[in-house]
Amino acid sequence: PQPFMSTGELIEACDMVVEAAGAAVVPGLATATFDAGKDLMLISVGALIAHPEILDRSRETGCRLLMPSGAIVGLDGIKSATMGVVDHVTMTSRKGPAALDGAPHVVNNNLDLWAMTEETEIFSGSAREACVGFPANLNVSAAVSFAGIGPDRTTVKMVLVPELARNCHDIEVEGEFGLLRIHLENIPGENPKTGRLT
128: Cβ–Cβ under 8 A, 6 or more apart, which residues? Answer: 49, 145, 151, 152
Which listed residue (51, 105, 169, 183) is catalytic?
A: 169
Q: What sign has the CA pseudo-torsion 156, 180, 48, 96?
A: positive
| 169 among known catalytic residues | yes
Is residue 197 pLDDT above 70, yes or no? Answer: no
Q: Would you state the pLDDT for residue 137?
A: 81
Would you call 103 helix, strand, or coil by DSSP? coil
pLDDT bracket for residue 20 (50, 70, 90): confident
How many CB atoms are closer than 10 A to CB 120?
13
Q: Residue 67: its pLDDT value, please? A: 87
Check: CB of residue 81 under 8 Å from CB of residue 98: no
Write the single-letter amino acid at 83: M
- Give the CA diameter of the chain: 53
Residue with the bigger pLDDT between 3 and 39: it is: 39
Q: Per-residue pLDDT tens for 107-164?
A: 999 999 999 999 999 999 999 999 899 988 887 888 899 899 999 999 999 999 998 8
Model pLDDT, residue 45:
87
The helix (run of H) or strand (run of E) holding residue 107 is: helix 104-108
pLDDT recorded at residue 193: 65
Buried b (16+ CB within 10 A) or exposed e, 132-151: bbbbbbbbbbbbbbbbbbeb
Q: Phi/psi of residue 139, each to 5°?
A: -60, -30
Name the band, by pLDDT with cuts 50, 70 and 90, for residue 74: confident
Residue 20 buriedness (CB in 10 A; 0-12 / 13-18 / 19+)? exposed
